[in-house]
Structure 1
Amino acid sequence: MEVVESLPDLVLKCKNAFAKEFGCDPIVGAKAPGRVNIIGEHTDYNDGYVFPMAIPLYSVMVGRYNGTSKIRIATSAEVDNPKRVEFDTPSKENPLTQGEPKWANYVKGVLHHFSHDISGFDAFIISNVPLGGGLSSSASVEVVTCTFLEALTGKSLLLADKALLCQKAEHTFANMPCGIMDQFISCMGKANSALLIDCRSLETKTVTLEGGKSDVDDSVAFLVVNSNVKHQLSGSEYPQRRGDCFKAAELLGVKSLRDANMTALRDKRDELGERVYKRGLHVVSEIERCTKAVKAIEERQLEELGRLMYQSHVSLRDLYEVSCPELDELVDITMITPGVYGSRMTGGGFGGCIVALVKASQAPKIVEEIHKNYSKKATCYVFNGVDGASQIQL
């Protein structure tokens, strides 16, 4: 299994990088986790339910005011060059705009929408959330930027407001029409828990993750396996599926697919067309699976949760068509490996990761089977839930 760099080590690395880059020590800092979505995929922008968990992979940002009107930000992440940007502090007369490098747009978007005045500052960002892995590296950067600005300015936002600000930043500066899940869980995660999010009302419910009735003496964990196939959601695939869902809702006469049902979908199948019908069928069934999964956890029925996870993957593969051969291969391996309750692709798709519910004691053997049978090189992590974003005392 992959040894995850501890948060204290990551913070120290970021502090040292800042000192080397800017010639002084940082004063304030923040961290924000990535996430894995246990179930409820491509339902968030359809007003449905999602069920993510914050994981101990983090973006960390440290810095200080620099006494100028300039903002200077650097990173050591494997992103497009240059890895240091400098621009004037934003104002109504001189607002920030998108540009190159693309990674800086995630930071700029948060700065643009942050409602409090900001003076010039220097900052360094470091992250061990895999880029393009479906573990929400972009939301982690957005949320850590906003949390850093809270620390820098002394102005705190409500968690829901912070998440919505970061979502807006991704919409307007990264041109990605994402739902609210990633930013919400990065802000609101709780240790050893997952978060049921109603993406319509924005109500949340913390669900503690424990062992099941059949496993009184054996705890469970979530195994996240990175296929190391990178995906790019800035192309046409993601917006097209989003548009298909909106078209389905319109033809069904509902505000969103949250209000649709299987009977209405089947009755309108010919009018919807096969592609739009399949997209709608995935979303309606996935929303139902999400609520059933939470009930299974609350009743400690882990076999049922595993079955729902497998059903979710098949739906994402065959109906929503966002899986890929590598993800399918990894799920197939887990299906015949002892100690695995269930697994599915997680994230936007077209690569990235699968998530599997496993017996914690058998995780090393499961990882061994994956490395032995996967046709490419996988990276494996065993996770439990962690707390969401917070300021760091340096």
Structure 2
Amino acid sequence: MHILAAAADYDAQTAVNSLWLIVGAALVLIMTPGVAFFYGGMVKAKSVISMMMMSFGAMGLVGVLWVLYGYGLAFGTPLIPHFLGNPFDGFILLQKFLGIGAGGAMSPDLPGLAFAGFQATFAIITVALISGAIADRAKFGAWMLFAGIWATIVYFPVAYWVFNLSDGWAPAVLGVNDFAGGTAVHINAGAAGLALALVLGKRVGFQKGIQKPHNVPLTLLGASLLWFGWFGFNSGSEAAVDGVAAIAWINTLAAPAAALLAWIIVEKIKDGKPTSIGAASGAVAGLVAITPACNILTPGWAIVLGLLAGAVCAIAIDLKFKLGFDDSLDVVGIHLIGGMIGTLYIGIFGAGIGLIDTGSFKQLGVQAIGAFSVLIYSFVLAYAIGWVIQKTIGFRVTNEDEIAGVDTVVHGEDGYLLDARV
């Protein structure tokens, strides 16, 4: 039996920074149940369990894969310099963090493990976000297979590209600014969602206005958890308690607040009524947009970004009806479009690097390369994975099962027991 040795003596600042990472990780982890509630309220009553299980399934599967090899692929020693880490470092680094070796003692490395845990929650929520694009019509087993493969060959490598500041090609070679995941999380998930929506095809009776959210309060609860957790998502990405973490926190308040207002104003103009679903969606669109830029914008420019993202995303969600793809819960309109807006916005308004401050379009070009590289990589591989699954074990439920209700057919459960005798 291992004996826990005395932990290394850390200075006060290291301890405080590590504590903030641990707290931030908990905040980000609760965002995935937030996604489950946010999405769950917007689907049919007969699909709410299926929708929420896709998020909880991602928590279980990706959490295990991260510890086994995902951390190594994303943050291990370079296997392919600038592109991929060594998956076996997942074991080696964790052993190093725990000090397993001499005498069988364990001496946990506080900052190392805190960072590994924090990044695990990013991997989990990125996979969960994709599920909204295929709501009401996906098999759970097929989804879990997709989630494991996509996390392995798309998310983990992209995390190396973007979040591995010492060697990833985006920050270390090009100088892409993606502070908390506009490319690695939102563009990545949005592109994969678009690919799966195309592979699975449209829901039965797909057309504008045919399916209303079955439980609006559930969606508002989810949006609240998302916004709450997002402070850990953005501010925690500094991995330190300092001025950058503070500006990231303020911008995570300002941008979604402005986006919320912009979305409901657009709704009022377009449809005559501002809705609570619109308010929740606007807040999320603002959160998505500020994610890559929260460290490098003044609060004033963050508000402008929020207004832009809220208005554009409110319009963009209707593209699926014009273009004919069924992105059930607007993963493309909110996460892909919102992530693109926030990532490119840095090239114009980013403090010290954007066009406004430098008079140069260089950073805008750099941001565009980062954004479109992730978009194309994720879309192509997600489409290929989804297509193979659909052609082999089948990804989509039958039309009959979709009409009957995915919850009963796939999970043998009902979200709501309305019979008073039960």
Report if TM-score (shorter chain) is over 0.5.
Answer: no
Whichever structure has more helix as a proportion of its residues is: 2
- TM-score w.r.t. length of structure 2: 0.28
Whichever structure has more strand as a proportion of its residues is: 1
- TM-score w.r.t. length of structure 1: 0.29
